[in-house]
C-alpha cells in the first residue's frame, strides 16, 4: 500500500502529518483502507511510507490491533507511485494489490478486483475526472489512461487501486508514476482489465474535501452512547458518543454526529449534523457547531459559532470565536476553486477572545491570534497576528 505522500494541496492540515493520517470521523484515512483489506481476508500488508513516516508507524505498529501483519518500506523521496511500488520489489509476491493509502474505499469495492486477478484497475464513474486520471475503456479492457485530462475523454476515474502480477516491475524501471507504466504495458500488447465499482471511493484532494469525506463516513456509522448524559440533553440519532465523555445539561445533539472519548460538552451546546469531535475535547456553553471537524485535544470557549469548518488537533480557542460559512474563492497550488466553506485552523493554534475568521481563510499550524481580530486572509504556519 502506498502511504508515503505529503498532500501539498491539503495544507495547513498536512503541514504536520501525512495525508494518510488525516482523521475522518475520528480515524485516519489509512485505517479505513487497512480495515477494507482485512474484511476481504488480506492480512499481509506492506506499507510504503515516506513523509513523516514515524506517525504512521507509531499509530499502526505491526498491525496486531487491526488483525493484520504490517511491514514497512521507506521511500526516501516521494517521486511518484511507480517509484514507490519499486521500493517493494524484493518482497512482492507473484500477484498482489496496490492501493493508495490516502483514499477511503468500502470493503465491497475490492472483492470484484480480487476475483479478476492481475492485471486490472478499479475504476469509478465521476462527474468530473479532470482532477484524476481518466481511464478509457473498450470492451472491458483499458485502452488508455490520461492524467487530469483537459477535456472529458472518459467518465471513468482511476481509483489508484490495482491488481498486478510481478511483470509490472519490468515496466516501472524508468517510470515515476503507475499510469505511465500501465501505458507502457498497453503499448507492448499486454491486456489490462477495467473493474468498475459502484461502492464508495473517497479521495481528499483539497482541505474542504475533509468535510465531504466526514459526512459520507458518518452516514455509515453505527450509533452508540458510551458517555454520560446530564438532565435535559436532547439527542436525535444517529449519534455516537465515546466512553468517559460527559454531555452536560440542556445540550442539543443532532446526527449524524460522532464525539470521541473523554470529552466535556456543554452545558447548552448545540452540535448539528455532519460533525465529528475528536478525543479529549472541551466545548464550553452556548457554542454551536455544524458540519465541521474538530480534532482531538481542542478547547473551544463559550459563545462560539463554527460552521463548515475544520479545526485541527491541539488548538486552544477562547470564547466568542466565529467561523461562519460563505462562498469563497480559494487558491490552492495555483488553482482557484469557489466553495462554500467556513474557516480552516491548523493544529496547535492559540486563538484569543472574539476572533472572527472569514469564509475560506486558513490559519497555519502553530499560529497565535490576539483578541478581537478579523481574519480576511490566510495566516502562514507559526505566525503571530497582533
DSSP letter for 379, please: B
Please, are residues 120 and 193 in contact by the beta-carbon 8 Å criterion? yes
Cell output for 383 = 505566525
- Considering Cα of 128, then 133, then 137, then 140, what sign does the dihedral take? negative
Label residues 171-198 b or e (16+ Cβ within 10 Å = b): bbeebebbbbbbbbbbeeeeebbbbebe
> Cell for 181?
507504466
Predicted local confidence at residue 36, as pLDDT: 95
Q: What is the pLDDT of residues 196-214, one digit of tens each?
A: 999 999 988 899 999 999 9
Dist CA 27 CA 31 (whole Å): 7
* CATH architecture classification, 217-385: 3 Solenoid (2.160)
State the pTM of this model: 0.93
Q: 308: Cβ–Cβ under 8 A, 6 or more apart, which residues?
A: 211, 290, 291, 292, 323, 325, 340, 341, 342
Task: Kindly give the interhelix angle for 29-39 and 53-60, rounded to the nearest 10 degrees.
Answer: 50
Distance CA 130, CA 124 (A): 13
Decide: 146 and 136 in contact? Cβ < 8 Å. Answer: yes
Distance CA 291, CA 257 (A): 9
**What is residue 70's three-state secondary structure?**
strand
Question: Which candidate, 114, 115, 126, places its Cα nearest to that of 36?
Answer: 114
Q: Using CB atoms within 10 A of its CB, is residue 325 exposed (0-12), middle (13-18) or buried (19+)? A: buried
- Would you state the pLDDT for residue 176? 85
Fold category of 2-205 in CATH:
Spore Coat Polysaccharide Biosynthesis Protein SpsA; Chain A (3.90.550)
Residues contacting residue 164 through CB under 8 Å, at least 6 positions apart: 95, 96, 97, 98, 118, 119
Specify the domain boundaries for CATH 3.90.550.10 within the chain.
2-205
Q: Are strands 368-369 and 350-351 parallel, antiparallel or unpaired?
A: parallel
End-to-end CA distance of the chain: 44
CA dihedral for 336, 338, 341, 342, sign (positive or negative): positive
Amino acid 333: pLDDT: 78
Beta bridge partners of 282: 264, 299
* Residue carrying the nine cell digits 483502507: 33
Low-confidence ranges of the chain (pLDDT < 70): none
Residues 22/47, Cβ–Cβ less than 8 Å: no
Q: What is the pLDDT of residue 309?
A: 98
| 3-class DSSP assignment, residue 288 | strand
Please count the other Cβ atoms lying within 10 Å of the Cβ belonging to residue 357: 26
- Edge to edge, the sheet with strand 356-357 lists 234-236, 252-254, 270-271, 288-290, 305-307, 322-323, 356-357, 374-375
Angle at 52 between CA 6 and CA 385, to 5 degrees: 75
- pLDDT value, residue 158: 92
Longest Cα–Cα distance in the chain: 70
In the chain, CATH 2.160.10.10 sits at 217-385
Distance CA(219)–CA(238), nearest Å, equals 9
Amino acid at each position: 500500500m502506498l502511504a508515503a505522500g505529503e498532500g501539498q494541496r491539503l495544507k495547513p492540515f498536512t503541514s504536520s502529518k501525512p495525508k494518510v493520517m488525516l482523521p475522518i470521523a475520528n480515524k485516519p484515512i489509512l485505517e479505513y483502507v487497512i480495515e477494507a483489506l482485512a474484511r476481504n481476508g488480506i492480512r499481509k500488508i506492506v506499507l510504503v511510507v515516506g513523509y513523516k513516516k514515524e506517525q504512521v508507524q507509531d499509530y499502526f505498529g505491526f498491525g496486531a490491533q487491526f488483525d493484520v501483519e504490517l511491514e514497512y518500506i521507506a521511500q526516501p523521496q516521494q517521486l511518484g507511485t511507480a517509484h514507490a511500488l519499486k521500493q517493494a520489489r524484493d518482497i512482492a509476491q507473484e500477484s498482489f494489490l496496490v492501493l493508495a493509502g490516502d483514499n477511503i474505499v468500502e470493503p465491497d469495492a475490492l472483492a470484484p478486483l480480487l476475483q479478476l486477478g492481475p492485471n486490472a484497475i478499479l475504476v469509478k464513474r465521476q462527474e468530473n475526472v479532470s482532477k484524476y486520471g481518466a481511464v478509457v475503456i473498450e470492451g472491458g479492457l483499458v485502452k488508455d489512461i490520461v492524467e487530469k485530462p483537459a477535456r472529458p475523454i472518459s467518465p471513468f476515474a482511476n481509483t489508484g487501486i490495482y491488481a498486478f502480477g510481478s511483470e509490472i516491475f519490468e515496466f516501472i524501471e524508468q517510470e515515476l508514476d503507475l499510469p505511465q507504466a500501465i501505458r507502457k504495458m498497453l503499448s507492448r500488447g499486454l491486456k489490462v482489465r477495467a473493474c468498475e465499482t459502484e461502492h464508495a471511493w473517497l479521495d481528499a484532494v483539497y482541505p474542504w474535501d475533509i468535510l465531504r469525506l466526514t459526512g459520507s463516513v458518518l452516514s455509515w456509522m453505527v450509533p452508540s452512547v458510551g458517555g454520560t448524559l446530564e438532565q435535559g440533553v436532547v439527542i436525535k440519532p444517529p449519534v455516537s458518543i465515546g466512553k468517559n465523555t460527559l454531555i452536560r445539561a440542556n445540550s442539543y445533539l443532532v446526527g449524524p454526529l460522532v464525539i470521541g472519548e473523554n470529552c466535556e460538552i456543554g452545558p447548552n451546546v448545540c452540535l448539528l449534523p455532519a460533525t465529528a469531535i475528536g478525543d479529549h475535547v472541551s466545548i464550553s456553553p452556548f457554542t454551536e457547531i455544524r458540519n465541521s471537524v474538530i480534532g482531538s485535544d481542542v478547547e473551544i470557549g463559550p459563545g462560539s459559532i463554527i460552521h463548515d469548518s475544520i479545526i485541527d488537533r491541539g488548538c486552544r480557542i477562547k470564547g466568542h470565536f466565529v467561523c461562519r460559512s460563505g462562498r469563497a474563492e480559494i487558491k490552492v497550488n495555483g488553482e482557484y476553486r469557489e466553495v462554500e466553506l467556513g474557516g480552516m485552523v491548523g493544529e496547535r493554534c492559540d486563538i484569543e477572545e472574539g476572533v472572527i475568521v472569514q469564509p475560506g481563510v486558513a490559519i497555519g499550524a502553530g499560529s497565535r491570534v490576539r483578541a478581537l481580530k478579523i481574519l480576511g486572509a490566510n495566516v502562514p504556519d507559526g505566525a503571530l497576528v497582533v
